[in-house]
Structure 1
Amino acid sequence: MDVFLGEWANLLIRWMHLVVGIGWIGTSFYFMALDYSLNKLGQKQGVLGTAWQVHGGGFYFVEKYTVAPPQLPETLHWFKWEAYLTWVSGFGLLIVQYYIHARSYLIDPSVLPLTPWQAIGISLGSILAGWAIYEGLCRSPIGQNTTILAICFFALIMGAAVFYTHVFSARGAFLHVGALTGSIMATNVFAVIIPNQKKMIAQMIQGKTPDPYYGMVGKQRSTHNNYLTLPVLVMMVSPHYPFLSAHPHAWLVVALILIAGASIRHYLNRVDAGDDWKNYGWTAPVAVGALMIAIFVTAPRSSGGGAAVSDAEVLAVTQKHCVMCHAAKPTHEGFTEAPKNITLDNIASLRQYAAQIYVQAVQTNAMPLGNETGMTQEERDALGRWVNAQK
């Protein structure tokens, strides 16, 4: 029953994460597109630009003020809870999936033998440290130079990727790069963008002219969030695609995803701005090139040559490493039924799911979870030779 309720908790939190995340991403994309589409010619004093828009059978007229309107309106519509709840639900998933089941999903003894509490402590401490470094960079003189700041932030994420791949399991490492980046994005909203807006409102209430500095800083952080969105989305779904992380160059894949995602986002932003293709066309080949390199880097390796493997030998391997989960009645504490209803306790089932076995246990080393049973490379190669012999 505990496992059953845990699965429901996982599903409901994940559903919430998707819903509020879509809301957050949607507002980010919309307001960036709105900013870039503003007509800035012939505007009245104090107005940066205007835009006529049509949607759902209605017409809308939007004005953006250079700093703030002359008078504070009675009602302001804030866009903050989507960001807050995305982080809260994401952290809830981290707890339910990776902290409670740290030995299965977060720890790999072959990478670094950790206790669950050690792994959780490293997770929390590293996320906090990553945010502190980013915040320090933004508040330092480096934060005044967009290019240098971008390079430093890229280096920060790369450093985190290398660190995580030497501490956590493959899927745990990749997921944590996304968790760190997503936490920085949410904190930008919670600790910078919204407080700065409130400071401007407080100045207006006091009859003062709002300081444009607060708006400029908020816009900077909002732009960071916009460019990070696409890479973070890939990292958050990466546990479903173990080929991204289960190899020695996972940190390089992180770099390529950042380059591709940010390039695609820049391309879309400049399209919204109506720029000449000559000014942003370079982003398309950069994004495609990064993705092609990522495909090459993650290409499966050969399982190697060697002696033929008998049915009895492969059954011995799966009995030792697979059937604790993939059986009619699993003995693993985390499952009450076989994952995806796949049982691997007989030769007929092994032949039926040979392709999935090859991907999960030979090509990517994603299974067993966290390599709890200590499956060796020799056993993986033997399993691969048996699968290849079935073709």
Structure 2
Amino acid sequence: MIDPQISEWISQLLRWVHVITAIAWIGSSFYFIHLDLSLKKRDGLAPGVGGEAWQVHGGGFYNMRKYLVAPPEMPKELTWFKWESYSTWITGFFLLVWVYYLHADLYTVDPAVRALASWQVPLIGIGGIALSWLVYEGLCRSPLGRNDVALGCFLFLYILVAAFVFRHLFSGRAAFLHTGAMIATWMSASVFFVIIPNQRKVVADLLAGRSPDPALGKQAKQRSTHNNYLTLPVLFLMLSNHYPLAWSSRYAVGIVGCILIAGAIVRHFFNSQHAGKGSPWWTWAVAAAAIVVAIWLSIIGKPGNENTADIQNGATSATLAAAFDDAVLAVQSRCSMCHAAEPAWDGISIAPKGVRLDTPENILRHADLIRVQAVLTHAMPPNNITEMTLEERKVVATWLAQKDAAVR
């Protein structure tokens, strides 16, 4: 068994490298989308040049030109933007394995959803993601793929169906993560299997003096467009594991749909602006409405719906003290094996996120975190691995409600 301290460092380093490579991939992608849309046709450009743009950065001026086919002579050195994508996917895959498969009992298997064996988790997760790529690839190459709007609508529905399936197999946290990993796989696999190979074929044809097949460029452009519009939703899904209000909701699939709409519509705004087609400010209203609906769904769908009105009305200093004592007993018995100065849970060497709940003072200090994680969302203990009962959660809810009433 790996030492818990080494395990923690491996997780930290994997996440660090993954974020670095993701920044590089998304940054270069957004830059080239902006560049491509901002190119202008001007008099005096060389034959074959479709447009140019002047840019200034870091004290230097850059003259960027785009050849619609290829320059008269191919340069000796040609930079291929692919390793950012590959590195992001590879590090993300190892992080998925390290966190959600090797620690499936903590983060992926929720007995209240489905009592899976640990060995079943990677088979379902990896198998589902691989199958989704085959479906995505088939749809793009099918007659449906010739209609971008129809294909986009179908893919939207497919993502919701996949999120629904994951939600009924894994914990809410893992379901969101696997939905994001599925989309990210489409994006990176498109670069590996379609965009880069098609570009290589075009270059080979040009070097051989042949006319490239225009279908190659059209196919690559379609995948690039999908990547453009899916980037922001993927980022939300990947970051959501830290924020349980979204993934713990009964309407988590609806929240995924809202985020897909909000992320795509925001990208449409910037695409239109970069292309000089105006600034469709209405998109921000649509995106804001989608986010508001997502927040509403998270609130009405949260698992912790204890009614605390009567508790608050009857709160006194004596009842508050008694409620706090009961809450301390519940929290310490279900949470302090991990959230302590010296965690007793195997594989954990330091209290997660530095949150200690081993003394009444520490419990009081982290009251707001306890409210979100154990009362409003039931996200903690993870997958309820310590079997915290609904009665114990109500005890904590009672204390928090009386605490709020005492403050007022």
* TM-score over 0.5 for the pair: yes
Percent identical pairs in the alignment equals: 47
Residue number in structure 2 paired with 1:211: 213
Counterpart amino acid of 2:26? I
Would you say the 8 A contact 2:3–2:347 is kept in 1? no
Deviation at 1:44, TM superposition (A): 4.7
Deviation at 1:108, TM superposition (A): 0.5
Residue number in structure 2 paired with 1:368: 381
- Cα distance in structure 2, aligned partners of 1:193 and 1:152: 22
Deviation at 1:340, TM superposition (A): 3.0
Residue number in structure 2 paired with 1:108: 110
Would you say the 8 A contact 2:110–2:384 is kept in 1? yes
- Cα distance in structure 1, aligned partners of 2:278 and 2:351: 55
Residue number in structure 2 paired with 1:120: 122
- Asked whether 1:201 is paired with 2:203, we answer yes
- Cα distance in structure 1, aligned partners of 2:119 and 2:22: 29
Would you say the 8 A contact 1:68–1:210 is kept in 2? no
Residue number in structure 2 paired with 1:313: 326
Deviation at 1:311, TM superposition (A): 4.2
Which of 216, 240, 243 is equivalent to 1:241? Answer: 243
Counterpart amino acid of 1:173? A
Q: TM-score, normalised by structure 2?
A: 0.91
Would you say the 8 A contact 2:336–2:356 is kept in 1? yes
Counterpart amino acid of 2:307? G
What value does the CA root-mean-square deviation take over the aligned residues? 1.8
Would you say the 8 A contact 1:304–1:381 is kept in 2? no
Counterpart amino acid of 2:326? E
Q: TM-score, normalised by structure 1?
A: 0.95
Alignment of 1:252-331 (within 5 A): 252-277=254-279, 280-299=280-299, 302-305=305-308, 310-331=323-344
Deviation at 1:312, TM superposition (A): 4.5
Residue number in structure 2 paired with 1:4: 5
Which of 116, 133, 136 is equivalent to 2:135? Answer: 133
- Cα distance in structure 1, aligned partners of 2:385 and 2:122: 18
Would you say the 8 A contact 2:323–2:398 is kept in 1? no
Alignment of 1:1-391 (within 5 A): 2-42=3-43, 43-277=45-279, 280-299=280-299, 302-305=305-308, 310-391=323-404
3-state SS in 2 of match to 1:228: helix
Deviation at 1:127, TM superposition (A): 0.4
Counterpart amino acid of 1:390? K
Would you say the 8 A contact 1:130–1:156 is kept in 2? no
Cα deviations by residue, 1:307-351 (Å, 9 ceiling, x for unpaired) = 776444334422432122122322211212222333323333222
Would you say the 8 A contact 2:248–2:378 is kept in 1? yes
Would you say the 8 A contact 2:55–2:61 is kept in 1? yes
Would you say the 8 A contact 1:17–1:86 is kept in 2? yes
Cα deviations by residue, 1:231-277 (Å, 9 ceiling, x for unpaired) = 11111111111111111111111111110011111101111111134
Cα deviations by residue, 1:80-120 (Å, 9 ceiling, x for unpaired) = 00000000111111011111100000111001100111111
